[in-house]
Structure 1
Amino acid sequence: MSLQAYSKAQRVAENPRDTEYRLFAEITRRLMDAKDLPRHAPEVINAVHRNKRLWSTLLADCSREGNALPEQTRASIISLAIWVDRHSSGVMRGVETLDDLIEVNRTIMEGLAQRPAAA
C-alpha cells in the first residue's frame, strides 16, 4: 500500500475528534520546534501561519449556523481564536512569545484526548 493510500485510509477511519487532535499535535510541534528561532525565521512564520489557519477554521466552524457544539463552548472557541490571532501578531512584532500559543494548543489537546464516559 502506498503512503498516499495509507494516509487517505487513515483520514477516512479517523473520527473528527482524532483529526482535530492530530492537527493540533502537528501544529503545536512546529511551534515548539520554532520557539527558540529568530521571529522572522521561515519556520516561525510558517508555524504561526499554520496555527492561525487552524484557529481561523475553528472560528468559522463555530460561527456557522447548525454547529452542534453547545453555545458556551462555541463562544469560548471563538474567543480563543480571536486571542490567537492577536497574540500571533504580537509574536511576529517581537512583543510576544510562542509559549502562550503552545500552552493554549496543549490545553485544547488535553480536552480532545479525554473520552466521554460510555453510556
Structure 2
Amino acid sequence: MDRGVHSPREIEYKAFAKVTRALKLSADDTASNIGKRAKALHDNRQLWTILATDLAGVGNKLSETLRADLLSLAAYSISQSSRAIKDPALLPGLIEINTNMMRGLGTKQ
C-alpha cells in the first residue's frame, strides 16, 4: 500500500479513477447489475458533491470562471447520476466527463 504524501490533485485523480472504474464495470444493463450501478452512481454523486462544496468554498484558489464552469459540470453530473439508475444509456456520458476530469488533473501545473 502506498503511504506516501499525495497532493490534492493526486487524491482527486485517484477518487475519479476509482469511481470511473466502478461506473464502467456497472454499465452492463442487466437486472443483476443494478446494485453495482446504484452504488457506482451514488459514489459518483458523492464525489461531485464533495468537489462542488470545495469549489464553492472561500479558500478555493481556482479562478472564478473555472470554478463556475466546474460547478456547472458538477450540477450536471449529479443530476445525470440520479437519472442513470433508470437509464443506463447515460453512463457513457458520465464516464467521459470523469475521464476528462482525470486528464485535467493528470496534467502538470
Q: What CA distance in whole angstroms lies between the structure 2 residues aligned with 1:106 and 1:30?
A: 12
Q: 1:87, 1:96 within 8 Å by CA — same for their partners in 2?
A: no
Q: 1:78: which partner in 2?
A: 71
Q: Does 1:115 align with 2:104?
A: no
Q: How does 1:1-119 map to 2 (within 5 A)?
A: 6=1, 9-10=3-4, 13-38=5-30, 41-94=34-87, 96-116=89-109
Q: 2:34, 2:85 within 8 Å by CA — same for their partners in 1?
A: no
Q: What CA distance in whole angstroms lies between the structure 1 residues aligned with 2:16 and 2:63?
A: 21
Q: What root-mean-square deviation, in Å, do the aligned CA atoms of Structure 1 and Structure 2 show?
A: 1.7
Q: TM-score, normalised by structure 2?
A: 0.90
Q: TM-score, normalised by structure 1?
A: 0.83
User: Over residues 10-54 of structure 1, what are the superposed CA-to-partner deviations in whole Å (9 max), with x where a residue is unaligned?
Assistant: 3xx111111111111111000000011337711000000001000
Residues matched between the structures, number: 108
User: Over residues 34-90 of structure 1, what are the superposed CA-to-partner deviations in whole Å (9 max), with x where a residue is unaligned?
Assistant: 011337711000000001000000111111112111111111111011001111122
Q: What CA distance in whole angstroms lies between the structure 1 residues aligned with 2:60 and 2:51?
A: 11
Change over 3 Å in CA distance of 1:47–1:95 after alignment to 2:
closer
Runs (5+) with no aligned partner, structure 2: none
User: Following TM superposition, where does structure 1 have runs of at least 4 consecutive aligned residues deviating by more than 4 angstroms?
Assistant: none
Larger CA Rg, structure 1 vs 2: 1
Runs (5+) with no aligned partner, structure 1: 1-5
Percent identity between the aligned chains?
A: 33
